[in-house]
Amino acid sequence: MKKITFIVMSIALLILISACGTASETSSERQGNENKIKKIIVGTGTQFPNICFIDEDGNLTGYDVELVKEIDKRLPDYEFEFKTMEFSNLLLSLETNKIDFIAHQMEVNKEREEKFLFNQEPYNIFPLHVVVNQNNKSIQGVKDLAGKKVIVSATSNSANLIEKYNKEHGNKINIVYSGQGSDDAKTQLKTGRVDATISTPFAVDFINKAADAEQKVVGNPLSNSKVYFLLRKDETKLQKDIDSALKEIKNDGTLTKLSTEWLGKDYTTEAGNN
């Protein structure tokens, strides 16, 4: 009888030890999963002066790029990795899950809101102006573009803005879509094949210094739109985490510092465009 009792107790003890071991392994696995860093692919470009471009040392940098790096530092659960491409390919790459969000001064519009998710904390105010050759004296603002050729990148903020204006004013502007990014627009404007483009003061300053583009800004801003990161509709957690980091970056002055360094002054508030 004692022998049977001993055997039964031994079996019970083994079962208990086995159960404890299984629970411990499950807990360990769970903790490992919780601590796993999630890789996020960030889509951006290489031809937007001061925003996202390749510097003289061959490095991807600029305001949007350095801001994403700063956000990455403050979100230890994520690892951000850049993937560069033509601007016109960014939206399709986001829609087909090739990238997880876009960092390229994305302005809100109806079409984008229907398909995608913007974060809620803006990180820049984007001033768009008419830009012409420095020797051009006939174009002083958007009203002078009737009958003129205006070059913009397809699907860009500039394209959306001038397309909307053109539609509302009798389609009198001849819109030309650039085929090779900012270099194409720079060359065509400098050689007189087009009359104007739509750009920002900080981009004009940069391209004049870097490539003697002979451009100048004319007229009042056509828009001062807030810009955001663009994500897929299902990335609500990433959206909230990015916004949380952005608020910290704003509150401690880092965002103003980045804007001043890369764009020439603080474009993070409306006052930056006065």
Q: Are residues 47 and 99 in the same domain?
A: yes
Q: Predicted confidence band at 58 (pLDDT cuts at 50, 70, 90)?
A: very high
Which residue, of 204, 224, 244, is where some domain finishes?
224
pLDDT in tens, 150-192: 999 888 889 989 999 999 999 999 999 987 556 688 999 999 9
Q: How far is CA 86 from CA 49, 69, 222, in A?
A: 14, 21, 25
Contact 153, 87 (CB under 8 A): yes
Mean confidence (pLDDT) of the chain? 87
Q: Are residues 220 and 232 in the same domain?
A: no
Q: Quick count: other Cβ atoms within 10 Å of Cβ 271?
A: 10
pLDDT of residue 74: 98
Cα end-to-end distance, the chain, whole Å = 96
pLDDT in tens, 240-255: 999 999 999 999 999 9
Contact 267, 145 (CB under 8 A): no
Cα–Cα distance, 50 to 203 (Å, whole number):
6
- The answer to the question of residue 17 being in a domain is no
Q: Are residues 97 and 149 in the same domain?
A: no
Q: Are residues 219 and 135 in the same domain?
A: yes
Query: How many domains is the chain partitioned into structurally?
Result: 2
Cα–Cα distance, 79 to 229 (Å, whole number):
16
Which residue, of 186, 201, 224, is where some domain finishes?
224
Q: Are residues 132 and 214 in the same domain?
A: yes
- The answer to the question of residue 31 being in a domain is no
- The answer to the question of residue 5 being in a domain is no
Give the CATH number for residue 195.
3.40.190.10
pLDDT of residue 260: 95
pLDDT in tens, 180-237: 556 688 999 999 999 999 998 988 998 898 889 999 999 999 998 899 999 999 999 9
Q: Are residues 91 and 172 in the same domain?
A: no
- The answer to the question of residue 166 being in a domain is yes
Enter the tokens of residue 229: 């990161």
Domain region containing 60: 38-125+227-273
pLDDT in tens, 16-45: 444 444 434 433 344 444 568 999 999 999
Q: Are residues 67 and 97 in the same domain?
A: yes
The rounded percent of the chain whose pLDDT value lies above 70 is: 84
90 Cβ partners below 8 Å, 6+ apart?
Answer: 43, 44, 45, 99, 102, 104
Which of 33-37, 145-149, 268-272 comes out lowest in average pLDDT? Answer: 268-272
- The answer to the question of residue 1 being in a domain is no
Which residue, of 203, 224, 245, is where some domain finishes?
224
- The answer to the question of residue 219 being in a domain is yes
Enter the tokens of residue 269: 């508030």
Average pLDDT over residues 66-95: 97
The angle, 0 to 180 degrees and rounded to 10, between the axes of the packed helices 254-263 and 63-73 is 160
